[in-house]
Amino acid sequence: MKTLLLADPVRYPRMTTEELRANFLLDGLSQPGTLQLAYVDLDRAVVGMAIPLVNSISLPTAPELRAGYFTERRELGVLNIGGSGTVHVGSRTWPLENLDVLYIGRGNPEITFDSGMQDNPAVFYLLSYPAHTSHQVDLVKKSEASLTTTGSAETCNLRTICKYIHLEGAGSCQLVMGVTHLHSGNVWNTMPPHTHMRRSEIYMYFNLAPDARVFHFMGPPQETRHLVLANRDIVVSPGWSIHAGVGTRAYSFCWGMGGENQDYADMDPAPLDSLR
């Protein structure tokens, strides 16, 4: 399992483009027929993708976790961004269609992923944080997500926010998880940007065409940088960093948070006139 050690805001201003990408970007996790995982030292998050084809893919533990099984001391959110699939948790089977989310609480030793069709496989995006309490396994269908439409076409950021794992949705220990979809012709997300020292956040951009890109802005409000991301690239955002992006066309992204609280609205705005 790859380990990502994030830089602090003191070292960040002196970093080159390649150093920024090495410290804050996870790419190459979308590999058909495999499970790819990365351990992030920030809030001890684990990020991954499982794309089963012919054979099932089981979720093992890893030496880095020092645990008998993956969710011995962890909780897990699973978002399907591909074709139909199933997730087996112990003796129970949970079908996940595109944009369904499954929450798996602490204490589930056996987790396995399957696709319905090899030529249109499920693509399971995985996000995990440590958990000190146990919550039940809970499937949230796309149609059951809590929806909020915000922004405007005039400012190119008309978007629908879909909350799956949150205070009023699927219960969890600390994981908060959802998806934002930009409407056609809109390209800006999370405007105006913000920080939240109480929680780190991880963005996974998807539904991008092969030639499309997202320019993800990061850093303290007074000293921003950007990363250029392709489809299914993942960026880790520490509490001291803004997180906002603009694409060459409309796209979607999964946002996930862990840390001090689960209050979606807990953020410190960074007005546009304060950015540098």
* CATH code of the domain containing 202: 2.60.120.10
* Residue-level pLDDT at 163: 97
Q: CB of 196 within 8 A of CB of 265?
A: no
Range of 13's domain? 2-274
Q: pLDDT tens for residues 22-55?
A: 999 999 999 999 999 999 999 999 999 999 999 9
Residues of the chain with pLDDT under 50: none
Cα–Cα dist 33/149, whole Å = 35
Looking at the 3D structure of the chain, how many domains does it have?
Answer: 1
* Residue-level pLDDT at 192: 83
* Residue-level pLDDT at 223: 96
* Residue-level pLDDT at 11: 94
* Residue-level pLDDT at 265: 86
